[in-house]
Chains A and B, each alone.
Chain A
Amino acid sequence: MSVASYAQVFERCAAAWPAAQRRARRAKLEEFLRLGFPTRKLEDWRYTDLSALAERSFEPARRTAVALQDALLPRSDRLVYVNGELDRNASTADELSALVQTETPGATGVDALNAAFATPGLNLALGPHARLARPLHLILAGAANPQAAMTHQRHRIHLGQAAEAVLLVEFRGAAGGDRLVTQTFDIRLAPGSRLRLYRLQDEAAGSQLISRMDARLARDARIDIVCLDRGCGLARHDLNLELAEPGAEVELAGFYQPAAGAHLDNHTRIVHAAPHGRSRELFKGIVGEKSRAVFNGKIVVSPGAQKTDSEQRVANLLLAPRAEVDAKPELEIYADDVKCAHGATVGQLDETALAYLRSRGIADSDARALLRRAFALEVLDRIAWPALRDRAALLLGYPPPAETALEP
């Protein structure tokens, strides 16, 4: 395996970095050169093969003009990056942009690569009892450069005691362009703080997105996450949530519907490290022709994390013969006084419901569309931000029927 091209690009970039950063970056580069990209021999990377990236060469990406109109949500603040560069004109919260240097626990080669090349990202730090006045929309847009290009960003979200924030992280790609993108998020929630986090991915063919979010929840902190994936590139998300202190709460839901040609990999890991934690996880996917989805959900209940209350449910609809889903729940329980439930299904649309709808005169294809929408709604309805909910539903192809706007 050769990752030499990354070292060459590093040398060219190094001159532009302040001397103070260079040493730490070089250490990360060396770590990356040693580790390389994860191979399928690693259990966590069995279904997503990045080995071809080793032989590739990517130039640092440069900002280009991209259309964002359809992404704009009213009554929210925005921080916009295009190919990793801050777009001040499109942003209303550019003061939150900063170079973030944090350590990633259990770093892989990708994490080291990300740290070596990291450019500024969101740096949100709220003091005790502070509250973001409006939801914050972080747009990480990608667009084609003349040559294959890469973007690496690091972000930090730290909420002080009892602080509250609503954040939407959006990965979007314009058509065309061969891109490698890594995005790392360090999230820390102090006691009693609360974060509502939405993650939306709509990448284009040719993009290779690897995102990683690590969140640590202190006592009685709560995080509500809704993850939505569509798009047609390769996307791998790692979402690691640690309920580090008693009483922490996680409400996590995801819906994925990869477009034709897409490869989508969601890895979630919820660690109950303290007693009286509560976690709820629901991931649903609709996988159609020529697309592939991977879901791996790990729940760990550490020794001593008594009274843990954890539920995980995974449901997939496999709607075409050449579609593939690899869904794997994993439970590791090292405490005895806990409640842990889990279930995973892969199936087709409910034939009984389909027959019922058709018996009322609804055409087969329309009935199927209604049932797909119903399947997706269980997750979409958890979006507590109406403008985002509507936009996400439209994006996934489930606009609300007109009669739902009527008061019966």
Chain B
Amino acid sequence: MLEIRNLHATVAGKDILKGLDLTVRAGEVHAIMGPNGSGKSTLAHVLAGREGYAVTQGTVRFEGKNLLELPPEARACEGLFLGFQYPVEIPGVSNLTLLKAALNAQRKHRGAPEIDATDFLVWVRECARVMGIDPKMLSRGVNEGFSGGEKKRNEILQMLVLQPRLAILDETDSGLDIDALKVVAEGINRLRAPQRAFVLVTHYQRLLDYVQPDFVHVLAGGRIVKSGGPELARELEEKGYGWLEAA
């Protein structure tokens, strides 16, 4: 589903990713862990097509397509979803407006008709219920006045509504209390399916107690320095990252 080969990327002229390789197949959940500054968020942003990140070398193929030549909106329409570490507040654009515009843009891309207004509402309400989001908040501006935890839950709500094929969640667990963490994990687990994959970018192993990954990778110095199964996350929790960085 996702094939990253020898990816090099710079931010403001500074080399951040230095030859990263990663293969994600349908149905898999990958966790990418690593110390601060290792390039985790850069990887997420490069995949989502955020401006300000320059790919200097390497390839990224998503479902066989060259991902790097697609504008961000086309990547989303192809089924890629990025859960932001710092979701943006957009007063004046309601959550419902965003969700409907996004859903219909993606349907249009697939050649499907616009969603029926009632079906849309039933669907969004169901997703909001899973995420423990008060339906009243859907009429408010996107993330407007939301707490840190509410913003993260809102990211997962968007993911549930849009049903992406590949979701990259950038530190979605940071800043969550244990109850919010469980709700977020429930949202992710609900979406797990044989045709769908996840890349969880995280600093801590906490989220992985609730979302069992198939693979755990350690990103350090812009490359993946170690890969393993879920047990690697526990090892990192005990020993920290120092022993890998030193290696």
Residues of chain A having any CB pair with chain B under 8 Å? 350-353, 355-364, 366-367, 370-371, 373-375, 377-378, 401-404, 406, 408
Contacts and interface: CB of A to CB of B under 8 A. Distances in A.
B77 interface: yes
Contacts of B124: 408
A358 B96 contact: no
A366 B73 CA distance: 11
A406 B117 contact: yes
B96 A403 contact: yes
Contact of A366 (B101, B136, B138): B101
The CB with the most chain A CB atoms within 10 A, among B97, B117, B128, is that of B97
B247 to A, nearest CB: 35
10 contacts: A355-B50, A356-B88, A357-B101, A360-B101, A360-B105, A360-B162, A367-B73, A370-B93, A370-B101, A373-B93
A239 to B, nearest CB: 25
B117 A361 contact: no
Nearest to B114: A402
B210 interface: no
B19 to A, nearest CB: 26
B226 interface: no
A403 B117 contact: yes
Contacts of B82: 359
A371 B98 contact: no
A359 B96 CA distance: 16
A374 B92 contact: yes
B139 interface: yes
Interface in B121-148: 121, 124-125, 128, 135-136, 138-139, 141-142
A362 B142 CA distance: 14
Contacts of A350: 90
A403 B97 contact: yes
B135 A357 contact: no
Contacts of A358: 71-73, 76
Contacts of B158: 360
Contact of A377 (B92, B105, B128): B92
A356 B48 contact: no
A360 B98 contact: yes
A404 B48 CA distance: 29
B71 A364 contact: yes
A357 B125 contact: no
B100 A408 contact: no
Contacts of A371: 90, 92-93
Interface in B71-117: 71-73, 75-77, 82, 84, 87-88, 90-94, 96-98, 100-102, 105-106, 109, 117
Contact of B105 (A352, A355, A366, A374): A366
Contacts of A370: 93, 97-98, 101
Interface of B: 48-51, 71-73, 75-77, 82, 84, 87-88, 90-94, 96-98, 100-102, 105-106, 109, 117, 120-121, 124-125, 128, 135-136, 138-139, 141-142, 158, 162
A115 to B, nearest CB: 43
Contacts of A355: 50-51, 72, 88
A408 B73 contact: no
Given A359-B76, A374-B93, A404-B139, 16 more contacts: A355-B88, A356-B90, A357-B102, A358-B76, A359-B49, A360-B98, A361-B106, A361-B109, A362-B98, A363-B105, A370-B98, A371-B90, A374-B91, A401-B100, A408-B121, A408-B124
Given A355-B50, A360-B102, A408 B138 contact: yes
Chain A interface SS verdict (over half)? helix
Contacts of A361: 73, 76-77, 102, 105-106, 109, 162
B198 to A, nearest CB: 17
A371 B102 CA distance: 14
Contact of B98 (A357, A363, A373): A357
Contact of B84 (A356, A363, A367, A378): A356
A378 B90 CA distance: 12
Nearest to A369: B101
A374 B90 contact: yes
Nearest to A380: B92
A363 B76 CA distance: 10
Given A404-B139, A408-B121, A375 B76 contact: no
B121 A406 contact: yes
Contacts of A367: 73
A356 B50 CA distance: 9
The CB with the most chain B CB atoms within 10 A, among A355, A359, A377, is that of A359
B125 A408 contact: yes
A69 B77 CA distance: 42
A332 to B, nearest CB: 32
Given A362-B105, A404-B139, A408-B121, A353 B88 contact: yes
Nearest to B72: A358
A357 B93 contact: yes
Contacts of A408: 96, 121, 124-125, 128, 135-136, 138-139
Contacts of A360: 73, 76, 98, 101-102, 105, 158, 162
A184 B71 CA distance: 53
A363 B121 CA distance: 22
Contacts of B96: 401, 403-404, 406, 408
A353 B135 CA distance: 23
A78 B73 CA distance: 48
A317 to B, nearest CB: 13
Contacts of B77: 361
Contacts of B101: 357, 360, 362, 366, 370, 401
Contacts of A359: 48-50, 72-73, 75-76, 82, 84
